[in-house]
Homo-oligomer: A and B are copies of this chain.
Amino acid sequence: MNASPDPVSVRVGLLGCGHVGAALAALVAERRSEVARRRGLDLEVTRIAVRNTAIDRDVPVADDAFTTDAAAVVSDPDVDVVVEVMGGIEPARELVSTALAAGKPVVTANKELLANHGAELYALAEANGVDLLFEAAVAGAIPIMRPLRESLAAEPITRVMGIVNGTTNFILTRMADDGASYGDALAEAQGLGYAERDPTADVEGYDAGAKAAIMATVAFGARVVAGDVYHEGISGITVADIEFAADLKHCIKLLAVAEQTVADDGQAQVGVRVHPTLVPLDHPLASVNGSFNAVFVEGGAAGDLMLYGRGAGGRPTASAVLGDLVDAAGNLARGHGATIGTLERARIAPIDDVVSAYYLNVEVDDRPGVLAAVAAVFGEHGVSIRSMEQEGMGSEARLVFITHGARERDLRATLHDLRSLDAVRAVGSVLRVIGD
């Protein structure tokens, strides 16, 4: 916030000019004088790489700023900082690598790139002493990467849980608030442009999984990649599940979870997964509805923290990119960079070892002794029951259980044996629960 008389000129090369890129170019122009006043930096978008220069974009840059040659933007001596908002892995990886190797700071919003090739890019940034910043890659406008990287750098974080996919949160909120079926809610999300025509990446948790890998890497300081993440999506969730959960004072959210645990041999390991989860209604994550995102951090010293905001959208995402851009430009002007550094590979917890509380919905015969038989199966596998309610009578009878924390492998063994009991007609939904 220097009231510097001569702001330092910083020229920005933009790779991609979709919703985020166009919003960023507009925001840079809109905030130019204020950034000069408060930060002593004169930011200007000078080059923009696009697929098609013939499209008329309402963006406040010179017409000759546009080019289809992205490599020329990166290598242009009149580009000081590169912003990558094109998405996808190639050619983004190649372009970002080239920029970093040339000593140019990079700001990216590309979760897929970072979740798959982050470690090599962080190492390249470190080796070249320049910034690689990516606040916008996880949870849009919410400042989560910088707090994890800086404010909480020394915090003994045990777990990070995020609602980081707005599409699925919109669908689950519609199902809960209006009793819409999964299919109808998905169709509505598609109609509003929140969901793609092929919604797989969102509804099966791949998008959230990429973000989980990035959060785990930054929170625990060890390399985690998209392929390490266990996934379950929301396409099997029914309105009945949501109603049963509501009876138990829970809602259902798709959570990206990264946690640090201790393996049987005493070594630290990282568990990373995405799955629908029963969230108690008095938990702060329960009030995160519609297309909003939030990240909940459990710290050993800080206690519980939650960061909430817009997870998507051109202007909110551009806001996060601009925050990084000001930081990177300021560091460049002062001749240094703040990087993640070189990371060791995290030891990933096998999903079988993960401990979680569970919700189980078991259709049973309505006769004496059934509960005892069912409870015995839980006990044999060391799965402890926290609460049980019978719902319905006769041929509609079902037992709804919430367990204490149990290992995945013990829970699976319990399910296997439950299915073989005569009195059990079917095991319905099995969902994880935020709990002890």
> Which A residues have a C-beta under 8 Å from some C-beta of B?
1-3, 23, 27, 30-31, 34-35, 37-39, 126, 135, 141-143, 146-147, 150-156, 221, 284, 287, 299, 301-310, 313, 315-316, 318-320, 322-327, 334, 336, 340-344
Contact = CB atoms under 8 A, between A and B. Distances in A.
A37 to B, nearest CB: 7
Number of copies of this chain that the complex holds: 2
27 contacts: A1-B341, A27-B154, A30-B156, A31-B154, A31-B156, A34-B154, A35-B153, A38-B153, A142-B305, A150-B327, A151-B320, A152-B319, A153-B323, A154-B322, A154-B323, A154-B326, A155-B319, A155-B323, A284-B287, A284-B308, A303-B309, A303-B315, A304-B310, A305-B308, A306-B307, A307-B307, A307-B308
B301 A318 contact: yes
B308 A308 contact: yes
Contacts of A342: 1-3
A299 B336 contact: no
A336 B318 CA distance: 28
A23 B341 CA distance: 29
Contacts of A152: 143, 319, 323
Contacts of A141: 299, 301-303, 305
Nearest to A315: B301
A20 to B, nearest CB: 11
Nearest to A334: B336
| Residue in A27, A143, A309 whose Cβ sees the most chain B Cβ within 10 Å | A143
A152 B321 CA distance: 10
Contacts of A38: 153, 221, 341
Contact of A306 (B151, B304, B308, B313): B308
Contact of A313 (B135, B146, B303, B319): B303
A150 B144 CA distance: 12
